[in-house]
Each structure stands twice: as structure tokens, then as C-alpha cells.
Structure 1
């Protein structure tokens, strides 16, 4: 009951929350930049716990974000749209048709082939944290899109005691975008091996950020 009330209140306050996040994002002193214009049809892979920090870096770039169809996804969907992202609701997991999985995959395939860049929290929406699910490598193989592992580091931030160990940056802190080796998946590649390659690269980036999975 309490959780439901909090969610309903958050939905009501979405414009205010989004405005506050946009202001915080503008105060972060990013120490490096990223040329989004060079990317066409890329998949940005990130841990769920770094979604907020990366969203504050990538505002107003028209990146498409896969958002869960769970009720909590309504909040993320509203915030992301107000921060200048596009969204697709659903899941990339096999057998998740009841959660909009097939529709989401087909839409993402279409968007990637049209040159749109997609961001996916590869351990979301419910975990386990820091374990890559297979949907992202399946999508990359199906479309030929490169996977770009991404993370963020902040000089000052708070790591919440949530399932995803969410990173919340402090206003006016220094921030760094961490980008790993792009992963390409060919027709003959083993998906499990590529999944583990992506997981290792994301964990490497995670080890450079403010806090570790453990």
C-alpha cells in the first residue's frame, strides 16, 4: 500500500522531478565528451545502477531507451521523455511476450536498422545486478549493431542500498564518461561467449567508477 502511494505521488510529481534532475545534470562538470554524432545504429549497454548518471550525460540526444512495462517503468518512462530521450516499453528477454517482449524486439530492430541509437540496462529491470541478460546480444546479432559498453564515474556520489546499487551524483561534482571496447557479433559467434565478453567489459568499467559491485 505504501509503495503504491509513493509511486502514485512520484507520477504526480514527474514534471518537478524531471526538472530537478535536468538542473542537477547541468551542474555536473563533465571532464570528457562523447561524439554521439558518429554513432548510427549502436546499442549502448549499461548496468541498471548507472542509468541515472548516464541519462544526465546523454540528455537531449534522441537516444532510444528500452523501459520496462512494469508499473515502476511508468516513472522512468516519464522522466526519460522529459530529459530528451525516446522510449520503447517492453523486454528483450526470450519468452517475455506477456511483457511486450516480441513487440519491443521488433521495434528495436526497426529503429537500429534506421540508424537510431538504443540504450539498454542489461541487468534490468529486476536483476540480478551486474549479470548481463541474453537479450542484448541476441539483438546485436540480429541487426549487426555494435554494442558500446558504458559507465560513469563521479568525484562525489551516493550509492543507494537498492537491488541495482543505484549511483546518484551530487550536484556540481566532476563526472567522467567511461566507454569500453565496442563488441560486434557475427553470424558464427557464440552468443554465450559474447555475453561473457560484454559482462567482463562492463565489470571492468564498473571497477573504475565510484564503488564496486561488492
Structure 2
């Protein structure tokens, strides 16, 4: 374990690693889950090999359960909160890739595209610290450079707790009805200028809000 963590943080990481996945699986097993747009997603994956899932940070818990054990490479920050998430998702069958959702962080993810361990890729586009509902440039950079399609995805629940965190983090309640909705694939080519990146970031934010509100 990293010596840079305090004793309290090390204890938290140890507990989260084992207790986190157990709680998520326990609650998730009671959900009634429905998928919308899955046929189009599978067709897109068959054509391009991989896709880039993008979603708001406050949906990560529910999507962590609904997409478990699929070897999805997910971009996770390197700070303590990210370390907690990384240890949880690894035990949920994900492939954590450490970095950020900035262009620099996405460059690290770009290098993992050909790694067979990552079946698909995933980014919380407004993480790890917000602002909420603002798409950071990493996913635009990644999609443009890789040629892989972006798949906007949201997970809406009939009953949930909403935390008072920066992202208004959502925790679906036991026995909630869950709808996982995939948006239409977005292909980006030759996006180089800051103006182009900013424009596509705004477009992607609008699409994500249509698929499922970030509030």
C-alpha cells in the first residue's frame, strides 16, 4: 500500500476494498434493471471493436453495478477518493486506469486502447471534482484521436438517495427500478483547436442531459 497515505486513509482503503463491492452487489441485486438502446450499442461495438462510455460522475455507483465484470477500462483520478473508487471497481470486474479527464489524463487512457484487458473504455466526464455537469476535454481528445465512438449513458432510478456532495451523488435505494439508457453514438474526427473541443464538449453535455439529467 502507498506509504503516502495516512494510517486513517489506509484503514479506509482496506475497508472500502472489501466492504464497498459487497454493499453495492447486495443493494444492486434487489434492483429491477431495464436497458434502453442496447441493440444499437452492440451494433456499434461490433463495428468499432470498442466504445467509450461517458456519463456524469453522480451516476458512477449504479453504473458500476449494471456494467460489472465486463473488463471495462475506467479512467479514475489519482487522489484519495479516486484510490477508493479504483479499489472498489477493480473488485467489480473493471480495469482501473489512473489519470484525469483533462487532455493530459486522456493521453494516458489513449495508450491503453490496444490493451486487450480493457474491452471498452469509460470516463466520468465531469469528474473527479467538477464542476457538476461540465464536460472536461479529455473525452473529446480521446474520441478524436482514437476514432472510437462515444456512447453517452445514464442510469436513472425510481427511488434514490441524493448526497450533498459537489456532484449530488446518487445512490439508488433497495428495490428501485433502474433504467440504463444509451444515447446515439458520437464520432469525432480531426478535433484539434480549443474552440472545437469546447464546442463538442457543450454538445456532449446537452446530449447527456437529454439521456438523463445530471441533477
Same fold (TM over 0.5): yes
Instruction: Classify 1:66/1:102 alpha carbon distance in 2 versus 1 (closer, same or farther; 3 Å).
Output: closer
Asked whether 1:72 is paired with 2:78, we answer: no
Q: Could you tell me how far apart the structure 2 residues matched to 1:186 and 1:103 are?
A: 16
**8 A contact 2:157–2:172 mirrored in 1:** yes
Task: Please give the secondary structure, in 2, of the residue aligned with 1:15.
Answer: helix
Task: Please give the secondary structure, in 2, of the residue aligned with 1:198.
Answer: helix
CA RMSD of aligned residues (A): 2.4
Alignment-derived partner of residue 208 in structure 2: 202
Shift of 1:192: 2.6
Shift of 1:37: 5.3
String of CA shifts for 1:109-137, please: whole Å, max 9, x gaps: 4349x983101000011111110001100
State the TM-score, normalized to the length of structure 2.
0.83
Instruction: Classify 1:187/1:115 alpha carbon distance in 2 versus 1 (closer, same or farther; 3 Å).
Output: farther
String of CA shifts for 1:164-209, please: whole Å, max 9, x gaps: 11010111211100211211102268333222111101112233xx
**8 A contact 1:91–1:105 mirrored in 2:** no
Q: Could you tell me how far apart the structure 2 residues matched to 1:109 and 1:86 are?
A: 12
Q: Could you tell me how far apart the structure 2 residues matched to 1:176 and 1:69 are?
A: 30
Alignment-derived partner of residue 63 in structure 1: 72
Consecutive unaligned residues of structure 1, counting only runs of 5 or more, are: none
Q: Could you tell me how far apart the structure 2 residues matched to 1:131 and 1:7 are?
A: 29
Alignment-derived partner of residue 104 in structure 1: 108
Q: Could you tell me how far apart the structure 2 residues matched to 1:115 and 1:51 are?
A: 18
State the TM-score, normalized to the length of structure 1.
0.83
Counterparts of 1:102-181 in structure 2, within 5 Å, are: 104-111=108-115, 116-181=119-184
Alignment-derived partner of residue 94 in structure 2: 85
Instruction: Classify 1:8/1:142 alpha carbon distance in 2 versus 1 (closer, same or farther; 3 Å).
Output: same
| Equivalenced residues, count | 200
Asked whether 1:193 is paired with 2:195, we answer: no
**8 A contact 1:92–1:104 mirrored in 2:** no
Task: Please give the secondary structure, in 1, of the residue aligned with 2:96.
Answer: strand
String of CA shifts for 1:67-108, please: whole Å, max 9, x gaps: 1111221110110011111111112413x5xxxx37623423
Instruction: Classify 1:203/1:73 alpha carbon distance in 2 versus 1 (closer, same or farther; 3 Å).
Output: same
Alignment-derived partner of residue 18 in structure 2: 15
Alignment-derived partner of residue 24 in structure 1: 27
**8 A contact 2:126–2:134 mirrored in 1:** yes
Q: Could you tell me how far apart the structure 2 residues matched to 1:140 and 1:187 are?
A: 10
